[in-house]
Amino acid sequence: MLRENVVDLMSFVVVARVGSFTRAAAQIGVSQSALSHAVRGLEERLGIRLLMRTTRRVSPTTEGERVLERIAPHFAEIENELEALVEMRDRPAGTIRITATDHAADTVIWPKLAP
């Protein structure tokens, strides 16, 4: 159930931010119907309405605003941290251990590492 809630909360955040199920579905890469079902399922599990839907616009209710204010920053934090990890993946890091004879270390390795 936790996974379902996380996915549905992420869907709600996107819909609430863009104000449209159609645009949110295109942004996430799912169908409008699947997105609508996900948000409706979240609302049913919570027992509160998170979005006011009209034919022209979707906007968060008071409760939806509260959820958006409290949860959206955490999703942004997670996304930023994942991006940072991806950037770290491309850079070498850690300790390098070199096994060499004294002569090789003194004549080749130390002169290159000194600068």
Tell whether 109 is covered by a domain: no
Kindly report, residue by residue over 26-85, the tens digit of the pLDDT: 999 999 999 999 999 999 999 999 999 988 889 999 999 999 999 999 999 999 999 988
- Residue, of 24 and 88, whose pLDDT is higher: 24
Task: Give the 3-state secondary structure of residue 53.
Answer: strand
Contact between 19 and 59 (Cβ < 8 Å): yes
Supply φ then ψ for residue 114, to 5 degrees: -55, -45
Kindly report, residue by residue over 80-101, the tens digit of the pLDDT: 999 988 888 877 778 888 899 9
Instruction: Look up the domain containing 25 and give its range.
Output: 2-89
For the chain, the C-alpha Rg in angstroms (whole number) is 25
Tell whether 85 is covered by a domain: yes
pLDDT band with cut points at 50, 70 and 90 for residue 5: confident
DSSP class of residue 94 equals: S
pLDDT at 1: 60
Tell whether 73 is covered by a domain: yes
Tell whether 31 is covered by a domain: yes
Tell whether 53 is covered by a domain: yes
Residue carrying structure tokens 């869907």: 11
Tell whether 9 is covered by a domain: yes
Query: How many domains does the chain contain in total?
Result: 1
pLDDT at 25: 94
Q: What is the pTM of this model?
A: 0.70
Tell whether 7 is covered by a domain: yes
What DSSP assignment string belongs to 17-61? HHT-HHHHHHHHTS-HHHHHHHHHHHHHHHTS--EEE-SS-EEE-
Domain of 23, CATH number, reads 1.10.10.10
Tell whether 40 is covered by a domain: yes
